Amino acid sequence: MTISLRQSLFQLLFFGVFITALLIMANVWTITSKAALDQVSKNIDVANTVLEQLMAERSNQLLNSARVLTDDFGFKQAVATGDIPTIQSVLENHSQRIDADFMAILDLSGQVIESQPAIFAKDTAFPFPEIVRSVLENGGADDALIVNDGLYQVIMLPIYAPNPIAIAGIGFLNGDAFLRDVKSIIQADIIVSLHSQSSSNPVVLHSSLPRYKAERVIAANQQTLNWFDVTFFRSAPYLIRQIALPDTISKEVTITLAVDVSNHFDNFSALQFSILVISLMAIAGSLLVSMFMAHRVSKPVASLVDAANQLANGNYDKSFRTHGKLREINALSVAFVRMKDSIQQRQESILTQSRQDLLTGLYNRGYMETLIEQQLNSGKKLQVIGINIRDFRTINDLYGYSNGDACIVTIAERIKEWSGTAARLSGGELVWFANEPLTQEQIESFHASLELPVITNQVVMSVKIIFTIINCPEDATSTQDLLRKMNILLDEGEQGAAWCLYFNNDVEQRYLRRLNIITELKKVLQTQQDELSLVYQPKVDLHNGKVNGLEALIRWNSKTLGFVPPDEFICIAEQAGFIEKVTDWVFSQVIRDVLFLKGNNISLQPAINLSMQDIQNRPLLEKLIQLLHENSLSTRDITLEITESDLVADANLAIDNLTFLRNKGFSIAIDDFGTGYSSLAYLKHLPVTDIKIDKSFVLNLSADSEDQQIVHTILSLSNIFDLKVVAEGVEDAQTMNILTEWGCDTAQGYFITRPLPLSELVEWLDRTEYF
């Protein structure tokens, strides 16, 4: 079980004072009580002594007066002669002189001769024969007598003439009046009581106290007292001491000294009471002080505890500052404040780090998602612009990662100049939005500001930026949806040349189709399948009108997607990076078909279409050569067609590999000439043997004078560079004629025949006039 600090402080303070007060009180109480008791018993001792002295004094006085009486010659004579009137008169005189209460004359046998006052009847026997005997034996007796319920102190002496002739007795009554006198001397009450055989209670004979009180004191018989009795039994506040009577008959008589202790104790009681009051006040005071102290300590501690709990819950607003007077508590609160500050700082820096993209200092993907979510939830119109560095991978490949990083950092710095919220999602993908959608002009100047060349210490890089723009809530209502659609736009953007793409459903449909094609085609290439096939389109030598070659063209009849045009899936496979697999398939298929044709005595070289990626793939090219070798074919049994594209990761590698192929003996044609980037002047540096005029210039050649001009120029220049020219897309006789007339080397097109499956090709060759 635990108790609160406040309780514990309170207990400590309060019980400390309480126990101390209690101890002091008890101590004072017992000491004072004991002192009081001591004083009382001393008093009673004194009273006792004084009483004894008084009695002795009285006894002396009695003895003296008895001697005077017994030595009186006249008296002796009167006794000896039995002269009663003289005896009476002497006794009377004497008694008056010494104020005796009792005088008597006995004869030696104990018969009363005279008694004044007449408490003993004349001529009767004295009722205390032991005294008579003692007087005769010892020459006198000092004793106390109970007569008629009165206690007399008596002295009895023999009267000598010269032999004893009689006994004289003289006594004082120790009555109430006497006792009261004594009391004023000894400061104690005196009670004379009688224990008779008949009654169990002693009977009070004389007392300085009123009778009823005296009886009570006797009955209480309080011989000792302790402080407890004194304190709590105030009803009988007399301490008594029984003192012995001088002599014999006293067995039944008791003299009790009684001291009224209440007087003594009252002083001490007053002291005790005041100490009690002081103690109680101290306890009450300590109660208040300890409550106050406990409050003063526990309140700031409680508020610190509260603040610490708030801190644990991530609430940093609660103040830890306490402004009490307790130094340690204040120090604790200062330490708490410091702890809070450092936790807060650390948390903030962790938070910032967790939100930041370390390279650019922009937000990272995770935090951007939250921010976009907030914007979307606010219900406002939101235009989110995806900012993508086109072919960022190629930049990394070409210039190295440090330059790639520098490129991103530069773009990020440029973005920061536009007020808005920006984040880097990954690689060269960034995202930006502002409070208000940008206008078309703003978008254009934003884009232009980002596309400035990036200059580092080592290189100057020209960058192309693709903007992918999602307008919310029309295009997307959730962050995930938004980012997904932005991805789709980017994918689309990377296929084409457009720099700014807006989302619409067609884009998404195209994307989904592309995705389907990729998955399906990959699947098809991995399994033994009959979905892919090759068709062959013959080429005709225009100089002699005979077939001089074939072009192998791939076909895909997908079970799930239906017929997919090669233009479409070849392009997708190139972008998705697995064109190598397609080419590989074509290689083996073409080699099989070449062997088949040779077996049928047809010696025609099929042209294989290589994509630019294939040209940069040396192992693939070597594999082709190896395949030819394995099948005892030579590099002259097939030809190659390549289409130049605008972005070649490594142009030198491409040229090296083309040279390698050329040196191995392959004929190489540049495909789709006229559409791309290759000029004839440039081709001079490429190890190619043929150019294929793109079908777009040929299809309408007979009618289109512009096309005629282009084709004519190409034909004349190729003559200068010593390149053979193939015209593809020849659809009519007129075109064939024009091309023949202008000295074109080879023609290919539907006019001759459409591309044919191998078996149909064989049939066609069998019946055509071109073979």
Q: Judged by CB under 5 A, which of 101, 176, 637, 641 binds Ca ion?
A: 641
Instruction: Decide which of Ca ion, ligand C2E, none touches 520; Cβ closer than 5 to 8 Å per partner kind.
Output: none
Nearest to 693 by CA among 712, 706, 668: 712
Token couple for 217: 């004191």
Cα dihedral sign, 206-208-210-215:
negative
Instruction: Decide which of ligand C2E, Ca ion, none touches 729; Cβ closer than 5 to 8 Å per partner kind.
Output: ligand C2E
Instruction: Decide which of Ca ion, ligand C2E, none touches 553; Cβ closer than 5 to 8 Å per partner kind.
Output: ligand C2E
Taking the least distance from each CB to ligand C2E, the nearer of 40 and 572 is: 572
Q: Is 260 in the site for Ca ion (CB under 5 A)?
A: no
Q: Output Rg (C-alpha) for the chain, integer angstroms.
A: 73
Q: Where are the beta strands (DSSP E) in 421-464?
A: 421-426, 429-433, 454-455, 460-461
Local structure of 679: helix, strand or coil: coil
Distance between CA 165 and CA 163 in Å, rounded?
A: 6
Task: Return the H-helix or E-strand segment holding 27.
Answer: helix 5-71
Query: Rounded to the nearest whole angstrom, what is the least distance from the CB of residue 742 to ligand C2E in the complex?
Result: 18
Name the DSSP class of 252: G
Instruction: Decide which of Ca ion, ligand C2E, none touches 567; Cβ closer than 5 to 8 Å per partner kind.
Output: ligand C2E
Binding mask 296-325 for Ca ion (x = CB under 5 A): ------------------------------
Instruction: Decide which of ligand C2E, Ca ion, none touches 316; Cβ closer than 5 to 8 Å per partner kind.
Output: none
Beta strands at 606-610 and 546-558: parallel, antiparallel or unpaired: parallel
Query: Rounded to the nearest whole angstrom, what is the least distance from the CB of residue 597 to Ca ion in the complex?
Result: 19
Query: Rounded to the nearest whole angstrom, what is the least distance from the CB of residue 402 to ligand C2E in the complex?
Result: 35
Residues in the chain: 771
CA atoms within 13 A on the CB side of 553: 18
Q: Which of residues 317-376 bind Ca ion (CB under 5 A)?
A: none
Taking the least distance from each CB to Ca ion, the nearer of 6 and 692 is: 692
Whether the Cβ atoms of residue 594 and residue 633 lie closer than 8 Å to each other: yes
Local structure of 564: helix, strand or coil: strand
Taking the least distance from each CB to ligand C2E, the nearer of 237 and 755 is: 755
Q: Which residues contact 365 (CB under 8 A, 6 or more apart)?
A: 423, 424, 425, 426
Taking the least distance from each CB to Ca ion, the nearer of 140 and 755 is: 755
Footprint on this chain of ligand C2E (rule: CB under 6 A): 537, 552-554, 565-567, 570, 586, 609-611, 641, 643, 671-672, 695, 728-731, 748-750, 755
Query: Rounded to the nearest whole angstrom, what is the least distance from the CB of residue 563 to ligand C2E in the complex?
Result: 11
Nearest to 65 by CA among 185, 173, 157, 189: 157
Whether the Cβ atoms of residue 107 and residue 98 lie closer than 8 Å to each other: no
Taking the least distance from each CB to ligand C2E, the nearer of 672 and 745 is: 672
Q: Which of residues 666-695 bind Ca ion (CB under 5 A)?
A: 671-672
Taking the least distance from each CB to Ca ion, the nearer of 376 and 726 is: 726
Query: Rounded to the nearest whole angstrom, what is the least distance from the CB of residue 536 to ligand C2E in the complex?
Result: 10
Instruction: Decide which of Ca ion, ligand C2E, none touches 586; Cβ closer than 5 to 8 Å per partner kind.
Output: ligand C2E
Binding mask 580-609 for Ca ion (x = CB under 5 A): -----------------------------x
DSSP 657-723: HHHHHHHHT-EEEEEEETTSS--HHHHTTS--SEEEE-HHHHTTTTT-HHHHHHHHHHHHHHHHHT-
Beta strands at 382-389 and 429-433: parallel, antiparallel or unpaired: antiparallel
Token couple for 78: 């009167």
Taking the least distance from each CB to ligand C2E, the nearer of 44 and 604 is: 604
Taking the least distance from each CB to Ca ion, the nearer of 101 and 671 is: 671
Query: Rounded to the nearest whole angstrom, what is the least distance from the CB of residue 537 to ligand C2E in the complex?
Result: 6
Q: Which residues contact 588 (CB under 8 A, 6 or more apart)?
A: 627
**195 alpha carbon, distance to own chain's centre:** 88
Taking the least distance from each CB to Ca ion, the nearer of 110 and 549 is: 549
Taking the least distance from each CB to Ca ion, the nearer of 422 and 612 is: 612
Query: Rounded to the nearest whole angstrom, what is the least distance from the CB of residue 486 to Ca ion in the complex?
Result: 35
Taking the least distance from each CB to ligand C2E, the nearer of 17 and 726 is: 726
Nearest to 77 by CA among 162, 171, 188: 162
Whether the Cβ atoms of residue 202 and residue 195 lie closer than 8 Å to each other: yes
Taking the least distance from each CB to ligand C2E, the nearer of 389 and 621 is: 621
Query: Rounded to the nearest whole angstrom, what is the least distance from the CB of residue 582 to Ca ion in the complex?
Result: 14
CA distances from 42 to 68, 236, 255, 632 (A): 38, 19, 18, 149
Instruction: Decide which of Ca ion, ligand C2E, none touches 755; Cβ closer than 5 to 8 Å per partner kind.
Output: ligand C2E
Instruction: Decide which of ligand C2E, Ca ion, none touches 749; Cβ closer than 5 to 8 Å per partner kind.
Output: ligand C2E
Query: Rounded to the nearest whole angstrom, what is the least distance from the CB of residue 554 to ligand C2E in the complex?
Result: 4
Instruction: Decide which of ligand C2E, Ca ion, none touches 646; Cβ closer than 5 to 8 Å per partner kind.
Output: none
Local structure of 498: helix, strand or coil: coil
| Cα end-to-end distance, the chain, whole Å | 109
Local structure of 238: helix, strand or coil: strand
Query: Rounded to the nearest whole angstrom, what is the least distance from the CB of residue 353 to ligand C2E in the complex?
Result: 48
Instruction: Decide which of Ca ion, ligand C2E, none touches 127; Cβ closer than 5 to 8 Å per partner kind.
Output: none
Neighbours of 658 (CB within 10 A): 21
Query: Rounded to the nearest whole angstrom, what is the least distance from the CB of residue 671 to ligand C2E in the complex?
Result: 5
Token couple for 85: 């009137």
Query: Rounded to the nearest whole angstrom, what is the least distance from the CB of residue 692 to Ca ion in the complex?
Result: 5
Whether the Cβ atoms of residue 6 and residue 293 lie closer than 8 Å to each other: no
Contact residues toward Ca ion (CB under 5 A) are 609, 641, 671-672
